[in-house]
Structure 1
Amino acid sequence: MLTTQQIAELAADLESFRVERKESFKPVKGAVEEAICAFANALPGSNLPGVILIGVSDRTGTPTGLAITDELLREITDIRSSGNILPFPIISVYKAPLAGQEIVVVEVEPSHDPPVRLRNRVCIRVGPRKGTASRDEERVLNERRRSWDGPFDQRPVHGTTLEDLDLNLFKQEYLPSAVTPEVLRENGRSLAEQLAALHLASPDAVPNVTGLLILGREATTYIPGAYVQFVRFDGPDMTDPIVDRKELRGPLPEVLRRMDDITSAHIHVATTVAGATLERRSPDYPLAAMQQLLRNAVMHRNYETSNAPIQWYWFSDRIEIHNPGGLFGRTTPDNFGKPGGNDYRNPNVAAALYLLGFVQRFGWGIPNARKACHDNGNPAPEFKFETSSFAVIVRARP
C-alpha cells in the first residue's frame, strides 16, 4: 500500500506514465478496465505496479470531491473477478487521503502470466502510447512468461506435441469463443502462436496442462486423474446394486456436456394434477445446482499431486461429489461461497471454461447452487472440507 506522501507525488506528477487519473468511475469504467489490463501486461518491463487514482483530475492532479462509498469500492474491486480481464489481474483497491479529501487508489501488479486480455484485447501502455499490442509486442509478453513460475495448469507437459490436442475443437469452438471475429480476420499468427497467446501451450509449441485438459484427446495419459467417475446406486449405500456406471474422459468441454446429459437423464420429475388441466413438475434435484457444483469440481480440483478422479456418486436419497484437493489460497471454511472468498487453483482452466460459456460469472457458482436448491425445495448443499479433499452432498427434495 502506498504512503500518503507517495500518493500525493504520483497525483502531482502529470508526466508519469505509471499513473492514470480518473475524475469519476462509472462513466469511464471501460477506461479503468483498459488501464488495469495495460498495467498488468507491463510491457516496458519495469516490474513496478501501475497506479490508478479515481476521484482525481487528470489536468491538475487534485481531488474532484467524488463520494467514496463502500459500494464504489466494491464495484471497482469486482473488476478483478468479472471475467472481462483474463488471466485475473492482481489489484489492491483502497481509500486514501489527498489534499484533505478522499480518493480511491487502485494498485495493479505486473502479471506473471502475460499476455493479459480485456475482452480478448491485449491492452498495453508504452510511454504515452495506449492501445492494443501488436504481434511483436504480444510475442515479447509471451516470451516474458517463460521466466515466471506460474500455476500448475500453466506448466508445459514435456513429451507432448500439438498432435495430442484436438485442433479442430480449438479452431471451431475455442478460438471463435476467445477471439473476436475482427481479430480473427486480421490474424496472421500460426496455430502454435495462437495456442501460446491463449495460454494453452508454451511459446515453443508444447501443450501445457490447461491445453491438455481443454483440448487433449486423452489427457489421462499425462494427467492420470483427469477424468470423472460416475456411479448410480439403487439405494442409499455403496453396497447397494449399481444401476449405472461411467468414466468420463476427453476434452473438458465434452466431459461437461456429458455430465449435463447424465444429470438430466437421472433426475426424476414428479407430476401432480390440480384440477382438470394444471400440472406441477417438481424435479428431485435442480439441474442448475448440479451443473454449478460439478463444474466447480472440475475447475478447482487438484490435478498436480492426485491421481484420483472426481467421484460423482448418485444414491437413492442424495448426490455426493468428492474432489481431490482441499480449499485453496485465501478460501477458508468461513468465507467459502461468500463475496471475496473465492480463489483459483487452476486459473487458466477457469478462464478457458469462462470463455467457452460454462462459467457465467466467477465466484457465483456456489451461491447460485444454494439458491437453486432453495428454490426447488431441496435442503441446502452440505460442504465437507479436508486437507487434501473436498466434498459436497445434495439431498433429494423431500
Structure 2
Amino acid sequence: MFDTNDELLRQIQLGEDSLLECKQILFRGGKVDGPRPEKIADEIAAMSNAAGGIIVLGVEDKTRDIVGIESAKLELTETWLREIMETRLEPPLQAYTLRRIELPDGTGALQPVFRLDLPRSLFVHRSPGGYKIRAGSSVREMAPEYLARLFQQRSQSRLLRFDEQVVPNAPMDALSADLWKKFATVRTTGTDYDTLSKLKLADRDSESAWHPTVSGLLMACHRPHDFLPSAFIQAVAYRGNEVAPSDHHAYQLDAKDIHGPLNEQIAEACRFVARNMKVAASKTLGRHDLPQYDLTAVFEAITNAVSHRDYAIYGQKVRLRMFEDRLELHSPGAIPNTMTLESLEFRQASRNENLTSLLAKCPVPELEGLNSDRTTIMDRRGEGVPLIFQLSERLSSKRPLYRLLDGDELQLIIYAASLGD
C-alpha cells in the first residue's frame, strides 16, 4: 500500500479515504498538545478494526500541506504515539510499523514525518470513544450487530464461528438425510439430532429449539439459498475482455446461477468454465488439447472461493466471470486473520473451520481435465493457492493476481493461455 513516497504523496494530495488519515502534530511546553490522545486512539482503532491503513503524522489534514515535525521532537512524538497504542486501546495494539520518512513541502524542502502502517488487526480494539470503524474518511461507532459479527470473524470472543451458528428461520426438515448421513462416517449412539449436533450441522437455539446451522444448510440442504440468499455462485461468460456498460446481456455468451450444496456448486462451476473456455488442438507431438485454463487450478480457486468466503456478509455472492483473456473470481470477505495478499501463497488460514472439515469428506468430482492427486475436495494442507499459481503460470506464462477490493471482497484473476490462430 503506497509503497513509495511518491505514491503516498499523490494520495495525500487526493485527500483522506478509507486507507489514509493525515494529522498535524502540535507542541506546547515540551509536550505534544494536539491532536488529543483520545482522538488519535479512535483513529488508530477504527483503521485496525477495518481493513487497516496508513496514518501520516506531520500533514495538515484540511489543507493537505506537508508541515513536518521538528527533528528534535521526533523522539517525543514517537514516545507519545507508542503510549497511546499501549494504554488507550483495549487490547493494546502491537502489530504495526512506525517509520520516519521525509516528504517535500510546498517549496520542495524535505520535512520529517511519521508514517504509521496499520494492518487489519487480529483483534477488535476498543478506544476511548468505544468500538470504532473506519468508513471512508470518517470514524463511526459500530452498530451492535456489526460488532458481534466482527468479534466472530476475529476469533476474539467466545461466540461460535459463523458457520457453526443456527439459522433461526430454517426448519430441521431443510436438512436432507441423503446429504448429511454421508458425513457421519463413524457410527455414534443416540438420535439423529445427536449426530447432527456432533457434526455441527444443527444445534439448539437460545430457547432450546433445534435448527440447522449455517454449515448444515450449506452442505446438507438441496436449496441453501432459500435460507441463506447469497449462498450461490453467479457465473457469467462474456464476449470480449470487458463488460459492455450499455447492454451487458447482449454480450453474455452464457450465464448461470449455481445453487445446491457447496460440493455440488464447486463441481458445476468447474463444468461452467470447461464448457465456456476455448480449447485448441496441437499435433506437434501427437494430437492433444491446449485449454485456456488448467482445470485443476480452476477447481482449487473455486473451492477456496466458496469455502473461505464470509457468509456473514449479506447480499454478496461468489461471482465467476469469464472473459476472452482472463477468468475472475470474486469472493465476499477480507483475507482471514492477519494474512496479506503477499502471504496467501505461503500461509494457510480458514474462516470456516467446520465447512472446510466437511468438504474434506467430500470426494473430488469426476471432471474431464481435472488431475487432482487427492481424493477429497479439501486436503487442508495449504497447497491450493500454490497450485493455482504454478499450474496457471505454466499454461499461460502469466502469474495469477489476487486483489482486495474495498476491503471486503477478494478477487482472483487467472489469465487465459494464448491459443494462437
Same fold (TM over 0.5): yes
TM-score when normalising by structure 2: 0.54
- For residue 334 of structure 1, report the CA deviation from its aligned partner: 3.0
The residue type paired with residue 272 of structure 2 is I
Residues 1:300 and 2:316 are matched in the alignment: no
Do the aligned residues in 1 keep the contact of 2:356 with 2:380 (CA within 8 Å)? Answer: no
Do the aligned residues in 1 keep the contact of 2:203 with 2:213 (CA within 8 Å)? Answer: yes
Q: Counterpart in 2 of 1:344?
A: 350
Q: Counterpart in 1 of 2:183?
A: 174
Matches for 1:148-297 after TM superposition, within 5 Å: 148-171=158-181, 173-175=182-184, 179=185, 183-184=186-187, 187-202=188-203, 205-239=210-244, 241-274=251-284, 278-297=286-305
Do the aligned residues in 2 keep the contact of 1:319 with 1:393 (CA within 8 Å)? Answer: yes
Do the aligned residues in 2 keep the contact of 1:214 with 1:252 (CA within 8 Å)? Answer: yes
Q: Counterpart in 2 of 1:131?
A: none
The residue type paired with residue 403 of structure 2 is K
SS in 1 for 2:411: strand
Which whole-Å CA distance do the structure 1 matches of 2:164 and 2:229 have between them? 17
CA deviation string 1:178-237 (max 9, x = no partner): x2xxx43xx333211111111111156321111111112322232221111000111111
The residue type paired with residue 255 of structure 1 is Q
Which whole-Å CA distance do the structure 1 matches of 2:179 and 2:239 have between them? 37
- For residue 366 of structure 1, report the CA deviation from its aligned partner: 0.4
Matches for 1:56-135 after TM superposition, within 5 Å: none
Do the aligned residues in 1 keep the contact of 2:396 with 2:415 (CA within 8 Å)? Answer: no
Which whole-Å CA distance do the structure 1 matches of 2:271 and 2:417 have between them? 20
Which whole-Å CA distance do the structure 1 matches of 2:288 and 2:167 have between them? 51
* Alpha-carbon RMSD: 1.9
Residues 1:355 and 2:374 are matched in the alignment: no
- For residue 378 of structure 1, report the CA deviation from its aligned partner: 4.0
Which whole-Å CA distance do the structure 2 matches of 1:378 and 1:193 have between them? 51
Give the count of matched residue pairs.
Answer: 239
Which whole-Å CA distance do the structure 1 matches of 2:331 and 2:284 have between them? 42
Which whole-Å CA distance do the structure 2 matches of 1:334 and 1:369 have between them? 14
Do the aligned residues in 2 keep the contact of 1:324 with 1:388 (CA within 8 Å)? Answer: yes
Q: Counterpart in 2 of 1:33?
A: none
Do the aligned residues in 1 keep the contact of 2:231 with 2:317 (CA within 8 Å)? Answer: yes
Which whole-Å CA distance do the structure 2 matches of 1:383 and 1:280 have between them? 31
The residue type paired with residue 270 of structure 2 is D
Which whole-Å CA distance do the structure 2 matches of 1:246 and 1:198 have between them? 31
SS in 2 for 1:385: strand
Do the aligned residues in 2 keep the contact of 1:228 with 1:249 (CA within 8 Å)? Answer: yes
Q: Counterpart in 1 of 2:79?
A: none
1:314 to 289, 311, 322: 322
Residues 1:333 and 2:348 are matched in the alignment: no
CA deviation string 1:273-318 (max 9, x = no partner): 237xx22321111001100111110011111023111111101111
Calculate percent identity across the aligned residue pairs: 25
The residue type paired with residue 222 of structure 1 is F
Alpha carbons of structure 1 residues 261 and 174: separation in structure 2 relative to 1, 3 Å: farther
Structure 1 unaligned runs (5+)?
Answer: 1-146
Which whole-Å CA distance do the structure 2 matches of 1:148 and 1:327 have between them? 21
Which whole-Å CA distance do the structure 2 matches of 1:378 and 1:360 have between them? 27
Do the aligned residues in 1 keep the contact of 2:393 with 2:400 (CA within 8 Å)? Answer: no
SS in 1 for 2:159: coil
- For residue 165 of structure 1, report the CA deviation from its aligned partner: 1.2
Alpha carbons of structure 1 residues 334 and 317: separation in structure 2 relative to 1, 3 Å: closer
Structure 2 unaligned runs (5+)?
Answer: 1-156, 363-375
Which whole-Å CA distance do the structure 1 matches of 2:226 and 2:282 have between them? 49
SS in 2 for 1:359: coil
TM-score when normalising by structure 1: 0.57
Which whole-Å CA distance do the structure 2 matches of 1:377 and 1:231 have between them? 21
SS in 1 for 2:218: helix
CA deviation string 1:107-163 (max 9, x = no partner): xxxxxxxxxxxxxxxxxxxxxxxxxxxxxxxxxxxxxxxx94111111111132220
